[in-house]
A and B are shown apart, each in its own frame.
Chain A
Amino acid sequence: MAGWKKVWLRIWEYLQEASGERDYDHYLAWAKRTGLTPISRDDFFLSQIEARYTRPNRCC
């Protein structure tokens, strides 16, 4: 059972990464490394989705 739990956890983590849910965590880690002041989570996600939809990001 523990094995299956680990598998589901991995799948959930993967989906979180692929969907961009953890992008803000990565951004915070980068800001901490570089010493810059991070923007808020709300501003971050707004700017990310704005940027995503200014260029072709979905194929036919």
Chain B
Amino acid sequence: MRTAFGVRELAPAFSTADLSAVDSPRRVAASKSGDESPHSEICHHAPFSRSMPAALMLYFPRVFGATSPIRANLMNLLKKLVWVLVALVGALSLGIIASARGEHLNAVWLVVAAGCIYMLGYRFYSRFLAFRVVQLDDRRATPAERLEDGRDFVVTNKWVVFGQHFAAIAGPGPLVGPILAAQFGYLPGTLWILIGGVLGGAVQDFVTLFCSVRRDGKSLGQMAKEEISSAAGFTSFFAVLCILVILLAAVALVVVNALKSSPWGLFTVSMTIPIAVLMGIYIRYLRPGRVLETSIIGFLLVFVSVLGGRYIADSPTVAPLFTYAGPALALMVIFYGFAASVLPVWLLLAPRGYISTFVKLGVIFLLAVGILAAHPQMLLPPFTRFVDGTGPIFAGKIFPFCFITIACGAVSGFHSLISSGTTPKLLSQEGHARLVGYGCMLMESFVAIMAMVAAAVLEPGTYFAVNSPAGIVGTRPADAVATISGWGFPVTTAQMADLAARVGELTLFNRTGGAPSLAVGMAQIFSHVLGGHDVMAIWYHFAIMFEALFILTLLDAGTRVGRFMLQEVFGYFWKPLGRTGWYPSIILSSALIVAAWGYFLYQGVTDPLGGINSLWPLFGISNQLLATVALCVCTTILIKMDKWRYTWVTFVPLGWLAAVTMTASYQKIFAENPRIGFLSHARALAAQVGSGAIPASQAAATSRLIFNDRLDAAVTGIFAVLVVVILAESARHWWLYATRRKRPVLRESVVTVSRFVPSEASELL
């Protein structure tokens, strides 16, 4: 059965200039009547029954006719004018954003500037990458065509691939990172998202996808091993495992902080588990394969649970059953992650994946519409005082910490795993890699811009009251508002109490992690457009549910992937442990992965400085480490393709990321400021223990904190060493190729003619 999204074979490649070659019904009718005069078409048809352009073509054929050179020149000029206009509008918007001082800027300027930059980036830079740098060739058959097996390698419509790829790369990162980085003001993060996205992240995603398509869909690790060396392949594998552990801990911390002391939130998120199980049974036994239907039912049930959460929160008997502090919630999340990893995937993991994908995409769309409809004022200044590195959410200056805090919205190494995963096996033509690889990353970058807007529409005092940890501003609301007001961001306890009541929470103080403040911002935007302030609580908890839903989906999917990776390693030592279906192996490897990220999660939850201060930079460093691996692979492949003059497209972002990652690693290990440097913090705590400043009852907890600091320093050091290894190994090979001491061998798949191009093109191959 062919749908509108089937892929046409032997689609004729023609442009508007070739329309004259196509017989129009009018011309056929005229030739049949024997009247071939140029004006016969005018006599046979009513003059005003068609559109203006068609009428122009009819009455002024010499100027507007399909083959008219004047028309072709006019169209070209019009296209150029459109792009000049886009550039002018983008430049004007950026100028307004950059020069706004002391007055509140409307968020629409940010959205317009971002939109223009993305359009220009896609139209010009991606075109340059596609046609000059990598030279995409639609005449070559892709692996989806050559290796088609109906399951993994499937020729798929480009828009379907686009949707699937975007759903895979859109995670919590572009939502949380900008919220945290907003402590510097909205401008530094915004500029990094725009510049990093267009020149870094989208380039990485696109070139990695292209490289994988030319190599039968090989993964990043396999490409690193084959195109650079085995050391690079091992580094890539180890980097993926490390980033998984830190990533899962960091996002789990975001969820735990979002659900602390929140009976409504915990009830709603808890209900997604039995709802997912019901969906799993429904789709497995009752309506096999009916993904959409099942997802709609699941979404409706989840929405009912969002509405029902209010009654749970208002009930004096039931609310305490859903009210827990951070450590207890952390244990629940750890147990959940383990259970989801060992249970059959169709029962819990897959149904959660379906519903979280649809909810995520729907909410992103709603947020975009909401921002455009509400056109809110951005109350956060372009720069705050915390550019000096004394920020409460995480310590450190804009360089390097802004660039590792915002990863997924600008440059994310994890995307290279997706770009070299399923997607390259689905592309029907190489040319589609531009839309899917580059275009999807620009969309992801746009999501990050919207998250920045959601943070910036909050009152600055509210933003810092929600995101600042108790260790910085104090546990009592009065102390917190005094500290934050002293920073120059006025806020009162009455204001925060009123906001908490409006969103249906007990308190919004010390709700670190980014998710609650994002939810408040989104609730303000949504309620402005639909429902008003009376439904702000529902919108807030809907936003919390949406974030928690896809973070937990990421958690169980990531745990499962980590389990498979461990089993692969164990299999080298003892074969039975490598069997993915053997339950003792499943339980052992799942337990190890969960224990690894669970440890960091618990550490973050009990950190008095707020776990985000240590975990999120660790996550950012590990993510950029993976980006370094991906860009090294891309640069190496470009060199092997003899594209020396174009290697700067990947080398420049690589150099930038290496500088950012190494600087951040160095500062996190050795900085003298205890809020930044792990070792100096450990030394400060040890000194306090030694001087007796810490009571004996807290000695054990302090010892654990000292150990955690040293562990975090060691982990950071390992990441830094991995970056050095991959850079050194790559540079060594580049030097050998440059001095012609080694012949570059390009390991691309065999070239065959695609059946999706006109047959005459095969002569060119």
Contact = CB atoms under 8 A, between A and B. Distances in A.
A43 B558 CA distance: 24
Contact of A59 (B168, B349, B422, B564): B168
A41 B290 CA distance: 11
A20 B291 contact: yes
**Would you call the interface of chain B mostly helix, strand, loop, or mixed?**
helix
A27 B151 contact: yes
Nearest to A54: B564
A10 B6 CA distance: 12
Contact of B295 (A14, A19, A41): A19
A55 to B, nearest CB: 5
Interface in B541-563: 553-554, 557-558, 560-561
Interface in B216-257: 219, 240, 244, 247, 251
Nearest to A31: B150
B173 A26 contact: no
A18 B742 CA distance: 45
B151 A13 contact: no
Interface string A41-53: 1101111111111
B745 interface: no
A47 B149 CA distance: 14
Interface in A1-48: 10, 12-27, 29-31, 41-42, 44-48
Given A41-B289, A45-B288, A10 B4 contact: yes
Interface stretch (B110-118, B265-273, B312-320, B408-416): B408-416
Interface stretch (B18-26, B156-164, B697-705, B754-762): B156-164
A14 to B, nearest CB: 6
A26 B150 contact: yes
A30 B149 contact: yes
Contact of B159 (A14, A50, A57, A59): A14
Interface in B54-97: none
B354 interface: yes
B163 A42 contact: no
A59 B1 contact: no
Nearest to B444: A59
B352 to A, nearest CB: 11
B5 A23 contact: no
Interface in B162-190: 163-164, 167-173
B152 A51 contact: yes
Given A17-B3, A24-B289, A59 B418 contact: yes
A56 B414 contact: yes
A47 B288 contact: no
Nearest to B407: A60
B558 A58 contact: yes
Given A41-B288, A46-B346, A49-B345, A59 B561 contact: no
A59 B169 contact: yes
A17 B5 contact: yes
A54 B580 contact: yes
Given A13-B5, A14-B159, A14-B163, A58 B350 contact: no
B421 to A, nearest CB: 5
Interface centre among A10, A18, A54, A56 (most CB of B within 10 A): A56
A14 B232 CA distance: 40
Nearest to B5: A17
A19 B560 CA distance: 21
Interface in B715-733: none
A50 B152 CA distance: 12
Contacts of A52: 350, 422
B247 A60 contact: yes
Contacts of A51: 151-152
A26 B163 contact: no
B206 interface: no
Contact of B240 (A18, A19, A56): A56
A60 B173 contact: yes
Nearest to A19: B291
Contacts of B414: 56, 59-60
A57 B558 CA distance: 9
B171 A58 contact: yes
B150 A58 contact: no
Contacts of B412: 59-60
A48 B619 CA distance: 30
A2 to B, nearest CB: 16
Given A14-B160, A23-B154, A57 B4 contact: no
A21 B291 contact: yes
A21 to B, nearest CB: 4
Contacts of A27: 150-151, 154
A15 B292 contact: yes
A12 B418 CA distance: 25
B585 interface: no
A60 B164 contact: no
Nearest to B280: A49
Contacts of A46: 346
Given A14-B160, A21-B292, A52-B422, A58 B1 contact: no
B350 A60 contact: no
Interface centre among A12, A23, A60 (most CB of B within 10 A): A60
Interface centre among B152, B346, B623 (most CB of A within 10 A): B346
Contacts of A15: 292
A33 B171 CA distance: 38
Interface string B136-164: 00000000000011111010110110011
A60 B164 CA distance: 15
Given A56-B421, A59-B415, A25 B408 contact: no
A51 B561 CA distance: 11
19 contacts: A14-B5, A16-B291, A17-B160, A21-B291, A26-B154, A27-B150, A30-B154, A47-B151, A49-B349, A50-B345, A53-B353, A53-B561, A56-B417, A56-B558, A57-B421, A58-B553, A60-B172, A60-B412, A60-B619
Given A30-B149, A53-B561, A55-B422, 14 more contacts: A10-B4, A14-B160, A18-B160, A18-B163, A19-B291, A44-B151, A45-B346, A49-B350, A53-B349, A53-B350, A54-B561, A55-B564, A60-B173, A60-B247
The 10 closest A-B pairs by CB, nearest first: A30-B150, A18-B163, A27-B150, A56-B417, A19-B291, A60-B173, A59-B171, A17-B160, A59-B169, A21-B291
Interface of A: 10, 12-27, 29-31, 41-42, 44-60
